[in-house]
Amino acid sequence: MPATIIDGRAVAARLREQIARDVAALPEPPGLATLLVGDDPASAVYVASKRRQCVQAGMRDLHHHLPADIGAGELGELIDRLSADPEVTGILLQLPLPRHLDPAPLLERIHPDKDVDGLTETSTARLVLGAPGLRPCTPAGVMMLLDEAGVPLEGAEAVVVGRSNLVGKPMAQLLLARNATVTICHSRTRDLAAVCRRGDILVAAAGVPRMLGPDAVKPGATVIDVGIHRTADGLCGDVDTDAVRAVAGAITPVPGGVGPMTIAMLLRNTVTAAGLPAAAHAGV
Ligand code: NDP
């Protein structure tokens, strides 16, 4: 029997409805400050989508479009101001930045209670320590998909392919926090397919189109495909979905799997941020 398709669009739609109800129940709507530097077309599309969904959920859209040649000093000062501004609940610095800007020190200027992308050092420490905080959106979205699909995590073998700070590492931490036994693979892993076959859960986040085929999948496993690639025949992920469907128990499609969850989790984080100490000063 071919694998069940895990419908990320449907899960994300339900989550957005819940978020809109949560926002309506707050004394004041949270405000999301999106910072777009320059005119990278892909980034512009992502930010437009985030802003649209933020407004649809009843939140305040506090957008800043900044020139591509803005200096690190000026951008850093803006982030400091937003971090201290009680009207601002969450701050999102859209990456990648133009080459002359180093993202790491700029991200660090985001107040950790407003770090809705979950990428600052404090958010990372909170994740690793299991303390309350804002989690990176894509891995948090994967966890929600696994829960919605009823996938048992406790004691399960989970294999994560990729170790980026954005996806792979936080993904592994979130799975570990739910008592999965986690293996992280990367470009130096020997016999990748054999290691992947250990996984009851396989999360592919390598950024290589259709890299993982049926030989990398344990029969009945749940396969989560984080990868997203634009190819001549349309969008595809890191998994050869058609071939893997014959082996896996459940699989996320590309598009329509993990992708829709990422923005929904950004909205979720903004609501969570409204309850963190930095927002308490704003009376929200
Ligand atoms: P990165 O390029 O930052 O990281 C890729 C990771 O995969 C690295 O750790 C790398 O290993 C590893 N890797 C690369 N090639 C191989 C290989 N042949 N075998 C094993 N491991 C390999 O990517 P991201 O983590 O940022 O993103 C991963 C994918 O997810 C991309 O396709 C991206 O577009 C997509 N993505 C999708 C999102 C969504 O919302 N759906 C959100 C974010 C990302 P090493 O460390 O050794 O170099």
> How many Å lie between the centroid of ligand 1 and the Cα of residue 204?
8
How far is residue 45's CA from residue 72's CA, in Å, rounded to a whole number?
A: 23
Same fold for the domain at 23-111 and the one at 136-261? yes
Tell me how far CA of residue 168 lies from CA of 102, 160, 174, 225, in angstroms: 21, 6, 10, 12
Q: Is the CB of 164 under 6 A from ligand 1?
A: yes
Please identify, by atom number, the ligand 1 atom nearest to the C-alpha of residue 161: 21
Cα atoms found within 13 Å of the Cα of residue 184, Cβ hemisphere only: 14
Domain ranges of the chain: 23-111, 136-261
Q: Is the CB of 259 under 6 A from ligand 1?
A: yes
Q: Structurally, what CATH architecture does the domain formed by 136-261 represent?
A: 3-Layer(aba) Sandwich (3.40)
Asked if 162 and 226 count as a contact pair (C-beta separation under 8 A), the reply is yes
Which pTM does this prediction carry? 0.97
> How many Å lie between the centroid of ligand 1 and the Cα of residue 235?
16
Q: Is the CB of 119 under 6 A from ligand 1?
A: no
> How many Å lie between the centroid of ligand 1 and the Cα of residue 228?
10
pLDDT digits (tens, 9 = 90+) for 39-75: 999 999 999 999 999 999 999 999 999 999 999 999 9
| 137-148 and 259-274 helices, crossing angle to 10° | 110
Ligand-binding site membership of 49 (annotated): no
Which amino acid residue places its CA nearest to atom 23 of ligand 1? 207
Beta-carbon contacts of residue 242 (< 8 Å; ≥ 6 apart): none
pLDDT digits (tens, 9 = 90+) for 90-148: 999 999 999 999 999 999 999 999 999 999 999 999 999 999 999 999 999 999 999 99
Best substitution site from 50, 160, 191, 226 to test ligand 1's pocket, by max atoms within 8 Å of Cβ?
Answer: 226
* CATH topology classification for 23-111: Rossmann fold (3.40.50)
How far is residue 118's CA from residue 120's CA, in Å, rounded to a whole number?
A: 6
Which amino acid residue places its CA nearest to atom 1 of ligand 1? 164
Q: How confident is the model at residue 280 (pLDDT cuts 50, 70, 90)?
A: low
